[in-house]
Chain A
Amino acid sequence: MNKRIKTLADVREFLAHKVSRREDLLAKLDSDREAGHLTHFMRRDAMALVVAVFHADEALKFLAHIQMEKRPDGTAYGDEQKFAEVSAEVAFYVMNRAQSQFSEMNRSTSASNLATDAVSDFYMEFYRHLNNG
């Protein structure tokens, strides 16, 4: 059962997990490559690595944001405000994405589709955890 994200600490835990998933897969890539088993890694984990890299990248943006102690204008930035803003930003992305699903006209023919899908997947998963668990 997925855990619902209710506090900023939960947000941090969710995001940190995304970053550690990428680190684990990169470590696996390095050790398989060194052992001459890159093909085995690719056969099992090529897509998982791409997705993990994109998820971690998005997670790092949020982590950097919630690490701020003050707003750029110098005013206080509390945990509750951070949580509310993160939730709002995730919801905003998901709603935009839901609208754009009616038009797939701009789909690229390259691997960049994978990037778009991985980023969407990150936000959908984050949204689900923030709302339903």
Chain B
Amino acid sequence: MFARVRTIENLKSYLEKSVSEQEELLAKMDKAREDGHLRHFLSSNAAYLQALTVYAHESARFLSFIAEEREAEGGGSVTDEAKLNIVREETQRRVINLNMRLTSRSTSLSANQDEDAERAFWIELYQALNGGY
């Protein structure tokens, strides 16, 4: 049974997973390069690495937002609950916006794959925040 992201701690561990998975995969790629097996590594991991890079990039952005001390409008600092709400709102906005970009595919495979990974990231995060993941 998947857990739903309900607290800022849940969110942090959800996001940190992508960052650490990317680091692990990059370490595997470095090892494959050293051993002269980059071809084998890429035949099974090329698309996965690109998707993880997008996931890790977006996750790292949120993680630094969560870690940052921010001043609230009425004074004091932004609470964890308020930060979680900001993430929820941005995620919802992104998911809605993604549906409006369906007709603007690039002619570049890399760019399309990047966009698909971004789409998957936001949908997964939305599902995690709303329905469990």
Contacts and interface: CB of A to CB of B under 8 A. Distances in A.
A39 B53 contact: yes
B94 interface: no
Contacts of B57: 38-39
B47 A114 contact: yes
B114 A50 contact: no
A45 B110 contact: yes
Q: Which of B46, B47, B114 has the most CB of A within 10 A?
A: B46
Given A38-B53, A42-B50, A47 B113 contact: yes
B42 A47 contact: no
Contact of A111 (B26, B33, B39, B46): B46
A42 B43 contact: no
A50 B49 CA distance: 11
A43 B114 CA distance: 6
A83 to B, nearest CB: 26
Interface in A53-110: 53-54, 57, 110
Main secondary structure on chain B at its contact with chain A? helix
Contact of A44 (B39, B42, B45, B110): B110
B109 interface: yes
Interface residues of B, number: 22
Nearest to B106: A43
A111 B113 CA distance: 12
Nearest to A33: B26
A46 B39 contact: no
A46 B110 contact: yes
B48 A111 contact: yes
Given A42-B54, A43-B110, A50 B46 contact: yes
19 contacts: A26-B33, A33-B26, A38-B53, A38-B57, A39-B53, A39-B114, A44-B108, A45-B110, A46-B50, A46-B113, A48-B110, A50-B46, A110-B44, A111-B44, A111-B48, A114-B46, A114-B47, A115-B39, A115-B43
Given A45-B110, A46-B114, 6 more contacts: A38-B53, A42-B54, A50-B46, A53-B42, A111-B45, A114-B47
